Amino acid sequence: MNTTPSNKPPIWFWIISVIALIWNLMGVNAYLQQAFDTDSFRAMYSEEQLNMVANTPAWVTAAFAIAVFSGALAGIALLIRKKWATTLWLISLVAVIFQMGYVLTNGYESSMVMTIMIIVFAILFLLFSRHANAKGWLS
């Protein structure tokens, strides 16, 4: 009989991992709508807000892309239980901090609640990944 502890993650690991992936896929969708200037993107904002987006520095847009794409890849990495998920979550968090730092300091009329929620989720996903790694659920 095998008495070694299992490295099988609990059900809540899978639930959080799926939520993390969905959250970041929504971010990827938002980025792609902005990048391709879709009709649905334009319909969500006033002309003034669209001008602000159009005049956003390239490095902020790049930080947005890095944040959501590395986050989506990190979500996939969690689901396939890979340690490199933690590195991708860290990259995503750093990019979120740069992007949201710009948003907060440049008078964007964004929802403060959503801005804070994005930062908090990025931190929580990194901490969750570190926890999963420490528990031996990632290889």
Instruction: State the Cα–Cα distance between residues 62 and 70, nearest whole angstrom.
Output: 12
8 Å CB contact between 16 and 79: no
Instruction: State the Cα–Cα distance between residues 128 and 130, nearest whole angstrom.
Output: 5
pTM value is: 0.90
pLDDT in tens, the chain (139 residues): 444 456 899 999 999 999 999 999 999 999 999 999 889 998 988 888 888 888 899 999 999 999 999 999 999 999 999 999 999 999 999 999 999 999 888 877 667 888 999 999 999 999 999 999 999 999 9
Query: Domain spans of the chain?
Result: 11-134
pLDDT of 110: 66
